[in-house]
Structure 1
Amino acid sequence: MSHMDSEVRPSNFIRNIIDEDLESGKHTQVQTRFPPEPNGYLHIGHAKSICLNFGIAKDYQGQCNLRFDDTNPEKEDIDYVNSIQQDVSWLGFQWSGDVRYSSNYFDQLHAYAVELIEKGLAYVCFLNGEQTREYRGTLKEPGKNSPYRDTPAAENLALFEKMRKGEFKEGECALRAKIDMASPFMCMRDPIIYRIRFAHHHQTGDKWCIYPMYDFTHCISDAIENITHSICTLEFQDNRRLYDWVLDNLNDFQAPNRTRQYEFSRLNLEYTLMSKRKLNDLVTRKLVTGWDDPRMPTIAGLRRRGYTAASIREFCLRIGVTKQDNLVEVGMLDACIREELNEYAPRAMAVLRPIKVIIENYPNATPEIINAAVHPNKEDMGTRQLAFGRELFIDAEDFKEEANKQFKRLVMGKEVRLRNAYVIKAERCDKDEQGNVTTIYCTYDADTLGKNPADGRKVKGVIHWVEASTAVAAEFRLYDRLFTETNPAVFETVDEVLNPNSLVVLHGVAEANLKHAKAEQAYQFEREGYFCADSKDSSSDRLVFNLTVPLRDSFA
């Protein structure tokens, strides 16, 4: 367990409700669920819900189910099912028992729909989509009853059976709950509870051509699984009335301690989209390389970029659980990963924009070996060996022929310390036809090895470097925010706020110790930032490093 996982869980209104329910005896055990729809990859907003539902179950010695809301087969895919299970496990949580699917309950859901029809509480409606919208009314005007609303129960049963047998076309009719067309809540104006879809289902195959709607399925699935606290986001607040109406009108769910729905505010994060539909659009139009593109806010994308499960859990803990909508600063997420990686990431040196340095007075033909700490504050992490020789690479941005006193790096005629190594002095340089410096010629002081040189010389600047003959070539992907605006969701199209510099690719060199860097292993590249080897594209033949986060917040 990471040092970031706090033992103390701050209270919130949901935990207060659970405490009261347990104290009153309404419930003796807590049972929650996480019910994703398998129509895309999970994102950081889902991580908040995962941490809440699984965290509550863990803290109260209860159970949490993983249940796929798989009622829309046209948009679902087994790849999404697998990715969601991987994400939940990677975040450090384990669901109770087997993975569940709403489709497990299709037979029961059908029987409950029949029960509502028999009670005169559901009817088959033949209004088309446009007519249904017209009859529904507006927020200011009540709706009108469908002309099919008073069809006798026996006839509705026969029609619903014909729907089940595939004797109607898609969109020709739907089963609607009979509630109140004048309700101030749109979701209560005779909502559709079953529609016809001739679509192959990833779990049930071609058994069904009618599929239940989410609002009908969700509450019944919760009740079947004896969920005590059904926790969802605020956009479902009005739908709680439908949630209760369905259960109130079914014989099996009349117990006073049956499931209840509670809503909390969803996560809104700066520079981030939380709509799976919009994220899918980015993937489909190839504006990103896939759902796991390191610029995406998906859990898979964050993992590939180098974020740890502990840092995401810590972030979810810090933002808390409230009913108040707000836009969370992305710096909070970055701070969580920086704190963890500063503590645990081994140090290494990589030069992203290499320029050659030749130390003319260096006497050895072969490189010498210098021992350097793996972590400056953790002796138990040991040391690493660095080659040092006559030819090195430094970053082009660390050299200027002339500079003011604020530039504390290598300047012509002045000294700088090489990290973990010697003090060098720039003597002259070569340039290409465009005037770009290609090689810097230096001298070094052999008595200045280490952090505390014997001569007590004070050299203000320290730069990183990589010895040339042992350097390994590497590609560095510098990721920035995907959007240029703090709240991209308010713009009509994402295209107008896409950041053209969200990915900059550089080709440089790294110290030899990184040749076999493992995917997702974090490193602090000294003076550059936190990086990890890319899990898809990096290998011993082609090193690819992703920037997780800079050493400090440079975007703000």
Structure 2
Amino acid sequence: MTTPEMASGSNFIRTIISDDLASGRRKTIITRFPPEPNGYLHIGHAKSICLNFGLAQEFGGHCHLRFDDTNPSKEETEYVEAIKEDVQWLGFDWGKHLYYASDTFDQLYLWAIELIKQGKAYVDSQSAEDMRVNRGTLTEPGVASPYRDRSVTENLDLFDRMKRGEFPDGSHVLRAKIDMASPNINLRDPAMYRILHAHHHRSGDNWCVYPMYDYAHGQGDSIEGVTHSICTLEFEDHRPLYDWFLRELNIFAPQQIEFARLNLSYTVMSKRKLLQLVKENHVSGWDDPRMPTLVGMRRRGYPPAAIRTFCERIGVGRAASWIDLSVLEDCVREQLNETAPRRQVVLDPLKIVISNYPKGQTEELEAANHPQNPQAGTRLLPFCNEIYIERADFMEDPPKKFFRLGPGREVRLRNAYIIRCDEVIRDEQGEVIELRCSADLDTLGKNPADGRKVKGIIHWVSARHAKPVEIRQYDRLFQLENPDKADNFLVALNPESFQVTEGLAEPGLLNEEMGATFQFERVGYFTIDSKDSLPGQPVFNRTVTLRDTWEKIKE
């Protein structure tokens, strides 16, 4: 079923598909999401997932999940399983349409032999460096390989021996014979097969020659009957090559459509750079909550609905665009504002003693779990004569528009009483360490008996009942809006992107489920870490602040 987020707008690809169906050019719609299992998916992949699966759902077709597993030296089963989990977490299902490029190795090999027999492919024995140099530049044509005119018989023999493992890695490649003078460098006799004596996660050691991505990709779409092969713009110059293979093999040709990839501020989305962050321990792993990976966002507490909304909101176009990270964070806030239960947690505590509240007394005050959703129910908060508030909610000499606590000032405690600050207690260095306050005991809850109102409302926890919890303050991983512009993207890392503090939480928070997300009232949204938390000992990751604090920083 199409989600509201996906159906809310239009784009040029929707228009193309609608026209194809209306004209009868296509009877059904088949799209695909074809990741290489050489890393974890990131937010850029989410855009492609939402687009391909969303369009298939919207037009009554289906979307394939296909792993382009043609490079065993970089691919792992771990990545395959992680990708499946990410797609399902986003809310999509491929059903019976799960495919692997490795399942087509036999057919791809037979097609390669066919091209050799037609004189359109040859075995090249140049070194990798010589092939690179002889390929030419964007302004100069390439130079033909001295092996380009090998006979069909010799090429068939060499390719067979490559397959049987007679040669070491890098000694030969199979190349398509197209045009070494083509202005499109991708058509200058591109490699089709290389020798790799490497164990494959599915085919084992059955093969020691593996197809190149550009050779396998278009044929994979053709084998599966994909009608609309939706790619990012960097594949636009590869489309003539894909069309050449399909045309020379005389097989079904999908329609390739390119769109602009996602560029997100304060983020890198190169899998090579993300892998470098992991391997060099700049982050704790692929699932580090600061990473733009979907597994990292899931651990941080980003709801999948928020990511779907984000992908629809930024749209799909042909022009390269730069999206500020705040757009994604706004989508997360909007979703969590509707769904996240409220809780009271103090991060920087300042003690208050309520002088006119009985010392030995404890009462339980009713508090709503969500102020806009009565069906979310209520919970009980313990209250006594000693509480903690946020230190920032008190000022000795407050400005005119400061409506929180100050000497002689009144505020309402959320879900509790109105209190007045009567005395300020300092230590030997003059630091404020405690406030003595009095409570208006007739003002409990939301309906004070005498109808008195105060402008300020602050949160609190009971000093005798609050529980210490670990708080992990995650922020943007990079300080620069575009880390890729730095000579070394690592110098743009934000040294304050991860800080560990301790907070005081209402006691019920210790018994919540792993991965649950809450709004700490007046503080932000926090998620119980699914990896490092223990039963009764939650660790809280900051998911997102209540508002965009980085806009103020940039100003």
- TM-score, structure 1 length as denominator? 0.96
Offset at residue 15 of structure 1 (A): 1.6
Distance 1:490 1:276 in 2: 17
Q: Note if 1:39 corresponds to 2:38.
A: yes
The match for 1:404 among 370, 394, 399 is: 399
CA contact (8 A) 2:278 2:284 kept: yes
Offset at residue 374 of structure 1 (A): 1.2
Distance 1:72 1:242 in 2: 20
Offset at residue 119 of structure 1 (A): 0.6
Offset at residue 433 of structure 1 (A): 4.6
Equivalent position of 1:23 in the other structure: 22
Residue identity opposite 2:260 in structure 1: S
Counterpart mapping for 1:76-475 below 5 A: 76-251=75-250, 253=251, 255=252, 258-475=253-470
The match for 1:555 among 545, 550, 553 is: 550
Distance 1:79 1:456 in 2: 61
> What secondary structure does 1:211 align onto?
strand
Stretch deviating more after TM superposition (239-248 or 541-550): 541-550
Q: Note if 1:51 corresponds to 2:50.
A: yes
CA contact (8 A) 2:40 2:82 kept: yes
CA contact (8 A) 1:5 1:313 kept: no
> What secondary structure does 1:296 align onto?
coil
CA contact (8 A) 1:525 1:531 kept: yes
CA contact (8 A) 1:54 1:93 kept: yes
Residue identity opposite 2:158 in structure 1: L
CA contact (8 A) 1:516 1:539 kept: no
Equivalent position of 2:60 in the other structure: 61
Q: Note if 1:478 corresponds to 2:477.
A: no
CA contact (8 A) 1:334 1:549 kept: yes
> What secondary structure does 2:504 align onto?
strand
Counterpart mapping for 1:485-504 below 5 A: 485-504=480-499
Show structure 1 runs of 5+ residues with no match.
Answer: none
CA contact (8 A) 2:7 2:58 kept: no
Distance 1:427 1:494 in 2: 53
Distance 1:10 1:444 in 2: 53
CA contact (8 A) 1:185 1:238 kept: yes
> What secondary structure does 1:281 align onto?
helix
Offset at residue 512 of structure 1 (A): 1.6
Residue identity opposite 1:130 in structure 2: E
> What secondary structure does 2:93 align onto?
coil
Residue identity opposite 1:224 in structure 2: I
Give the % identical residues: 55
> What secondary structure does 2:7 align onto?
coil
Distance 2:399 2:235 in 1: 59
CA contact (8 A) 1:370 1:421 kept: yes
* Alpha-carbon spacing, 1:149–1:518, altered in 2? closer, same or farther (3 Å): same
> What secondary structure does 1:384 align onto?
strand
Residue identity opposite 1:280 in structure 2: L
Say how many residue pairs are matched: 551
> What secondary structure does 1:141 align onto?
coil
C-alpha distance after superposition, 1:411-460 (max 9, x if no partner): 23322221111122223344445443333222222112123423343422
* Alpha-carbon spacing, 1:110–1:435, altered in 2? closer, same or farther (3 Å): farther
Equivalent position of 2:70 in the other structure: 71
C-alpha distance after superposition, 1:272-328 (max 9, x if no partner): 111111111111111111111111111111111111111111111111111110101
> What secondary structure does 1:242 align onto?
helix
C-alpha distance after superposition, 1:62-92 (max 9, x if no partner): 1111110111111111111111000000100
Offset at residue 340 of structure 1 (A): 1.3
Distance 1:535 1:335 in 2: 23
CA contact (8 A) 2:510 2:537 kept: no
C-alpha distance after superposition, 1:119-147 (max 9, x if no partner): 11111101111101110111010001000
> What secondary structure does 1:549 align onto?
strand
CA contact (8 A) 1:5 1:310 kept: no
Residue identity opposite 1:170 in structure 2: D
> What secondary structure does 1:532 align onto?
strand
Distance 1:504 1:435 in 2: 28
CA contact (8 A) 1:398 1:410 kept: yes
* Alpha-carbon spacing, 1:332–1:474, altered in 2? closer, same or farther (3 Å): same
> What secondary structure does 1:371 align onto?
strand
> What secondary structure does 2:481 align onto?
coil
Distance 2:375 2:452 in 1: 30
Equivalent position of 1:539 in the other structure: 534
> What secondary structure does 2:511 align onto?
coil
Distance 1:520 1:532 in 2: 6
Residue identity opposite 2:100 in structure 1: Y
Residue identity opposite 1:496 in structure 2: V
Stretch deviating more after TM superposition (394-403 or 45-54): 394-403
Distance 1:265 1:6 in 2: 20
Residue identity opposite 1:457 in structure 2: R
Stretch deviating more after TM superposition (515-524 or 503-512): 515-524
* Alpha-carbon spacing, 1:136–1:543, altered in 2? closer, same or farther (3 Å): same
Offset at residue 7 of structure 1 (A): 6.8
> What secondary structure does 1:476 align onto?
strand
Show structure 2 runs of 5+ residues with no match.
Answer: none
C-alpha distance after superposition, 1:385-432 (max 9, x if no partner): 111101111112222333222332222332222111112222334444
Distance 2:121 2:55 in 1: 36
Distance 1:355 1:390 in 2: 14
> What secondary structure does 1:131 align onto?
helix
Distance 2:166 2:427 in 1: 78
Offset at residue 17 of structure 1 (A): 1.6
Stretch deviating more after TM superposition (168-177 or 445-454): 445-454
Distance 1:198 1:388 in 2: 69
Distance 1:54 1:128 in 2: 42
CA contact (8 A) 1:521 1:532 kept: yes
C-alpha distance after superposition, 1:84-134 (max 9, x if no partner): 000000100000415211000111111111111111111110111110111
C-alpha distance after superposition, 1:203-229 (max 9, x if no partner): 111111111000000111111111111
> What secondary structure does 1:328 align onto?
coil
Stretch deviating more after TM superposition (21-30 or 124-133): 21-30
Distance 2:403 2:330 in 1: 27
Equivalent position of 1:517 in the other structure: 512
CA contact (8 A) 2:412 2:419 kept: yes
